[in-house]
Amino acid sequence: MTTPQAWIHDAPREWKRIRLGQLGRFDASGIDKKSVDGEVPVAMVNYTDVYGNVTGLLRPDAHYMKVTAPPTKARGCSLRKGDVLFTPSSETADEIGAAAVVEEDMPGTVFSYHLVRFSPPPTVEHCFRRHLFNSPLVQRQLALLAKGTTRQILTRSDFRSVEVLLPPRGAQRAIADFLDRKTAAIDALIEKKERLIALLEEKRQALITQAVTKGLDPNVPMKDSGIEWLGEIPAHWEVVRFRHACRAQQGLQIPRSERLYEPCEGAVEYLTVRSIHATSEDYVREYIVNPPRRVRCQPDDVLLSRTGATGEVITDQRGAFHNNFFKVDYSRSRLDRLFLVNYLRCRPVHEYLRKMAGTTTIPDLNHGEFLAAPLLLPPLDEQKEIGEVLSRRLAEADRLAASVSRSSELLREYRQAVITAAVTGKVDVTSKEAA
């Protein structure tokens, strides 16, 4: 992988090499989400308004959080056209340092203490800023500078040390125009891919729901299930409650002081929602020593998230599970594992469990609510057939979705490569080939 230093050394001679600390000023606001009597009402740009901002722009007509600030901060932290807001923290180094540019003066709008503001001089063209500060040239340097264990952090000194390349102002405008056109075209292709992926997911869900609530035979006699959100079901299926075929074993809350960060004899991985979904190589796994047998799980066990991502089904894990999970112990004489997993994953059941968990900030599904939920029971042989047929059909759907997802990923990589080439002078943006 080409390093930022190599990009900088190979830049055109007329381009200026400069650190951000020499180029402009960084400041923080200290403004939080509180509203205090006697302070000035303001709108506040938050971390989430910058992180994941696909346009890289902050517009005055967007909806921002309403808070208050002391008069001096309300004035001093008011956003001006061209200000660049960075995210100085993230769970992983790869996601740190996202940037968004203020498109117009925004009097009465400030920025959160979770962000850092950079004020570049007029020598950095406004139209060039979002491309430069979100480019791999800047992002990779920030990722290398980030420090931390549970959360990655950047200081203002880190930001000041980042090097950028400044072309002449006319070249900046030409690069911005080129990148506006190229990235818009690439983004349109990515959007089409994402729509296709969403359609494939809908098809996947339809396959699961049809199989586990209607069966595989379209001509089978049907009956009313007696449950509005399930509708008609095959006449020979039973309708019971989960308690008639399952038990729910809740996991264990382990204090952070008792968790280890390296495996040792007698230790197993501590499974949390966060650890199960971690994709970054930087994520630090946690371990606990000699946990009770009741909270251990094997790859064949079925875990159900009871809080946070309520209703999510987790399989193929080995370790000790957090109390955010139930382990669903099921009767092998009444339930097939694959049928159970797909039944829990079908949309009507998933939505019902989420509804039972409540609509608070953090939904929480308790034992009684889960065990009282409706469970459809086809004959065991039919359950096994449904599980096997679904596995084949879903594998085909997943292969297609993976192919589309990979092509979308390649487009994103190409987008980054185009931006890198443009902001480091590797492509003549005025040539016919570039156009």
Q: Which of 73, 92, 95 is nearest to 284 (CA)?
A: 92
pLDDT in tens, 374-420: 999 999 999 999 999 999 999 999 999 999 999 999 999 999 999 99
**Other beta carbons within 10 Å of 84:** 25
Angle at 409 between CA 308 and CA 414, to 5 degrees: 140
pLDDT in tens, 70-129: 999 999 999 999 999 999 999 888 889 999 999 999 999 999 999 999 999 999 999 999
pLDDT of amino acid 120:
96
Q: Is 45 exposed, middle or buried (0-12, 13-18, 19+ CB in 10 A)?
A: buried
Instruction: Please tell me the distance from the alpha carbon of residue 381 to that of residue 115, in angstroms, as a whole number.
Output: 57
Q: Is 238-377 in the same CATH topology as 4-166?
A: yes
* Domain covering 4-166 in this structure, CATH number: 3.90.220.20
Task: Give the pLDDT of the chain (435 residues) as one tens digit per residue.
Answer: 566 677 777 889 999 999 999 999 999 999 998 899 989 999 999 999 999 898 999 999 999 999 999 999 999 999 999 999 999 999 888 889 999 999 999 999 999 999 999 999 999 999 999 999 999 999 999 999 999 877 899 999 999 999 999 999 999 999 999 999 999 999 999 999 999 999 999 999 999 999 999 999 999 999 999 999 999 999 999 999 999 999 999 888 888 888 888 888 888 988 887 787 776 665 678 888 888 899 999 999 999 998 878 888 999 999 989 888 999 999 999 999 999 999 999 999 999 998 988 766 677 888 899 999 999 999 999 999 999 999 999 999 999 999 999 999 999 999 999 999 999 999 888 765 555
CATH topology of domain 238-377: Adenine-n6-DNA-methyltransferase TaqI; Chain A, domain 2 (3.90.220)
Cβ atoms of residues 325 and 256 within 8 Å: no
Q: Is 268 exposed, middle or buried (0-12, 13-18, 19+ CB in 10 A)?
A: middle
271-294: buried (b, 16+ CB within 10 Å) or exposed (e) per residue? Answer: bbbebbeeeeebeeebbbeebeee
Cβ atoms of residues 56 and 100 within 8 Å: yes
Q: Where are the domains of the chain?
A: 4-166, 238-377
pLDDT of amino acid 265:
83
pLDDT of amino acid 201:
94
pLDDT of amino acid 276:
77
pLDDT of amino acid 264:
83
The residue behind tokens 């971390």 is 47
